[in-house]
A and B are shown apart, each in its own frame.
Chain A
Amino acid sequence: MARILIVDDEKHIRLLYSEELKEEGYEVFVAADGNDILDRIEKDRPDVIILDIKMVSSNGLDVLQEVRNRYYNLPVILCSAYGSYKVDVKSIAADAYVVKSSDLTELKNKIAQVLEASVPGKE
């Protein structure tokens, strides 16, 4: 089953998402901020990252650029309480954008979609 790394500074969000996504059968890892994200990716080897934007000690949009520059095809879903960052040019580097909600249906659908996305590389 796919491995998901949740990066969010709110403990209850990490807990809620972990529980729900584990129930869906995913293997879940959590991080409280985006510092050292590249090391976390090396260690946890996620198939998808769920990334908060407004975090106390890091900015998710900057973390996203760091991830994208190193891991070109690693799916990242921005998950924020604010819809306004969707139009920030930096968010274009994300695979999907989800506004936080207690109903995780949209997030789960996006996870399934980004895992299903297939873009062949060089033959």
Chain B
Amino acid sequence: MKAFEENPADVKRADIVIGIPSYNEAQNIAFPTMQAALGLKEYFGHMDSVIIDCDNCSSDGTGNVFMNTDTKGIPKIYLSTPKGVRGKGNNIKNLFRKALELNARAVIMVDADLQSITPRWIKNLGEPLFNDFAFVAPLYVRHKYDGPVTYNIVYPLSRCLYGRRVRQPIGGDFGFTGTMAGVFLKNELWDEDVSQFGIDAWMTTIAMNEGVPICQAFMGKAKFNEARDPAVDPGPAFRQVIGTVFRLMEAYRNKWKAVKWSKPTAIFGFGFGEVEGPPLVTVNREKLYHRFREGFSSNWETYRSILSFENHQKVREVASLDMDHFEMPVSVWARTLFDFAVCYHNRAMDRTRLIEMLIPLYYGMTLSFVNKTEGMSILQAEEFLEDMCLTFEQTKPYIVDRWDREKGVA
């Protein structure tokens, strides 16, 4: 997959590697690169390190900007997929390979469009890897409405399925050991969705299922990149992430069936003092409501074939609510996601279409979350989310039962 490598310092080994996946990020990549270099100098100055731009053959000069960024003597490598081969996952796969080639002990990856990264992020994502943790996920302060796919779907689902509470399973910035890079590279559950934006969910899920110690690193400053109105079309990333989550459920069915409740992870990185608040995310509630109603009424028959009878009745009831009183009970939402996962597993309909069918209901759940948490602070909304997760955990026997029953397992 690697088509091009530029390694002017002829780096042949490194204790710690920072990878920055990119595609047409010429405007943004210099800043995280500089911050990464400062973090390496300040906190890992005694180790051999390198910063790698893992690129998709960008046409806007991303590679040139990266290679010309002053990294205070920290060497740089530019890696790229062949022209026309896109995907964050493909970039990360190149990073896994290179990390193994360099015999790296620790690997950190950060997004190329980060505006809020500081050198402390490098410390916090990296240091636990030298203290017996194998995978480090980020813990940011985000606006309560930022990242609806995370708080409505991936976090509660991954937590109740695999039993480990990782608040930002698709956060984009991670740390992992060189050993884990090898585990990822050898894993056979790779597909087209993973090679795109499914990669973050894939890595976190594999780390959870490998049973390795996971740490969540508090990043202090909020993640500032492109916070979007949750009513905006989630685009192909939604299909890639959800497709990855559902497919991994098939692969790890024996694991998640054995999980009861959930357990925390270790936390690393305190002492930031007052943390800067995240940027405001405005929500177009009318658009969310309209998209839910329109999607539900035009696909009513299809939903009947996906959802269980009782659940379909409940969602129908929810669809009759007006916008201001709109509420999707969490147990109904959990069962809805479980029904979709079962349908995906049974290949009862085209998988791409199935995930598209989930989008209107996801808009409905997002509106429900917004309505319920409207007057809440970020911390209160987190408590609300915690209760949501407990409901998912309590509802889990539903999918254990349905998964087997639909396949006729006694």
Q: Which residues of A contact B (CB under 8 A)?
A: 65, 68-69, 72-73, 75, 86-87, 89-90, 92-95, 113-114, 116-123
Q: Which residues from chain A contact B266 at a C-beta distance below 8 Å?
A: 65, 68-69, 72, 93
Stretch binding the partner chain, chosen from B34-42, B62-70, B206-214: B206-214
Q: Which residues of B contact A (CB under 8 A)?
A: 131, 139, 162-165, 167, 210-213, 216, 218, 255, 258-267, 270, 379-380, 382-383
Provide the bound-state CA to CA distance between A119 and B211, in Å.
9
Nearest neighbor of B212 in chain A, beta-carbon distance: A122
Q: Which residues from chain A contact B265 at a C-beta distance below 8 Å?
A: 92-93
Q: Which 3 A-B pairs have the closest CB atoms?
A: A119-B163, A122-B211, A121-B211
Option from A72, A89, A122, A123 in Cβ contact (under 8 Å) with B270: A89
Q: Which residues from chain A contact B216 at a C-beta distance below 8 Å?
A: 92
Provide the bound-state CA to CA distance between A119 and B162, in Å.
7
Q: List 23 A-B contacts (CB under 8 A).
A: A65-B267, A68-B264, A69-B131, A69-B266, A72-B213, A87-B379, A87-B383, A89-B267, A89-B270, A92-B139, A92-B167, A93-B264, A93-B265, A93-B267, A95-B263, A116-B261, A117-B261, A117-B262, A118-B259, A119-B259, A119-B262, A119-B263, A120-B211
Option from B258, B380, B382 in Cβ contact (under 8 Å) with A120: B258
Distance between B269 CB and nearest chain A CB, rounded to angstroms: 9
Option from B163, B211, B255, B264 in Cβ contact (under 8 Å) with A94: B264
Pick the most buried of A75, A90, A113, A119: most chain B CB atoms within 10 A of its CB. Answer: A119
Provide the bound-state CA to CA distance between A48 and B131, in Å.
24
Q: Which residues from chain B contact A122 at a C-beta distance below 8 Å?
A: 210-212
A93-B265, A93-B267 are contacts. A117–B211 as well, Cβ < 8 Å? no
Is A89 within 8 A of B213, CB to CB?
no
Is A118 within 8 A of B258, CB to CB?
yes
Distance between B33 CB and nearest chain A CB, rounded to angstroms: 28
Q: Which residues from chain B contact A68 at a C-beta distance below 8 Å?
A: 264, 266-267
Q: Which residues from chain A contact B259 at a C-beta distance below 8 Å?
A: 118-120
Distance between B410 CB and nearest chain A CB, rounded to angstroms: 23
Given contacts A89-B218, A116-B260, A123-B211, 10 further A-B contacts (CB under 8 A): A69-B131, A69-B266, A72-B213, A87-B383, A92-B139, A93-B265, A94-B264, A120-B211, A122-B210, A122-B212
Provide the bound-state CA to CA distance between A122 and B162, in Å.
12
Pick the most buried of A72, A90, A117, A118: most chain B CB atoms within 10 A of its CB. Answer: A72
Provide the bound-state CA to CA distance between A118 and B262, in Å.
7
Q: Which residues from chain A contact B383 at a C-beta distance below 8 Å?
A: 86-87
Q: Which residues from chain B contact A89 at a C-beta distance below 8 Å?
A: 139, 218, 267, 270
Nearest neighbor of A61 in chain B, beta-carbon distance: B270
Nearest neighbor of B132 in chain A, beta-carbon distance: A69
Distance between B219 CB and nearest chain A CB, rounded to angstroms: 10
Option from B163, B164, B255, B267 in Cβ contact (under 8 Å) with A92: B267
Pick the most buried of B165, B212, B260, B264: most chain A CB atoms within 10 A of its CB. Answer: B264
Distance between A48 CB and nearest chain B CB, rounded to angstroms: 12
Provide the bound-state CA to CA distance between A90 and B272, in Å.
13
Q: Which residues from chain A contact B131 at a C-beta distance below 8 Å?
A: 69
Is B167 within 8 A of A73, CB to CB?
no
Q: Which residues from chain A contact B380 at a C-beta distance below 8 Å?
A: 87
Nearest neighbor of A121 in chain B, beta-carbon distance: B211
Provide the bound-state CA to CA distance between A119 and B167, in Å.
17
Nearest neighbor of B220 in chain A, beta-carbon distance: A89
A68-B266, A92-B139, A93-B266 are contacts. A117–B260 as well, Cβ < 8 Å? yes
Provide the bound-state CA to CA distance between A14 and B93, in Å.
53
Provide the bound-state CA to CA distance between A68 and B382, in Å.
22
Provide the bound-state CA to CA distance between A33 and B270, in Å.
22
Q: Which residues from chain A contact B162 at a C-beta distance below 8 Å?
A: 119
Nearest neighbor of A113 in chain B, beta-carbon distance: B261
Nearest neighbor of B275 in chain A, beta-carbon distance: A89
Q: Which residues from chain A contact B164 at a C-beta distance below 8 Å?
A: 119
Provide the bound-state CA to CA distance between A75 and B212, in Å.
17
Q: Which residues from chain A contact B270 at a C-beta distance below 8 Å?
A: 89-90
Provide the bound-state CA to CA distance between A114 and B262, in Å.
8
Nearest neighbor of B269 in chain A, beta-carbon distance: A89
Q: Which residues from chain A contact B212 at a C-beta distance below 8 Å?
A: 122
Nearest neighbor of B380 in chain A, beta-carbon distance: A87
Provide the bound-state CA to CA distance between A69 and B268, in Å.
9
Q: Which residues from chain A contact B210 at a C-beta distance below 8 Å?
A: 122
Distance between A37 CB and nearest chain B CB, rounded to angstroms: 15
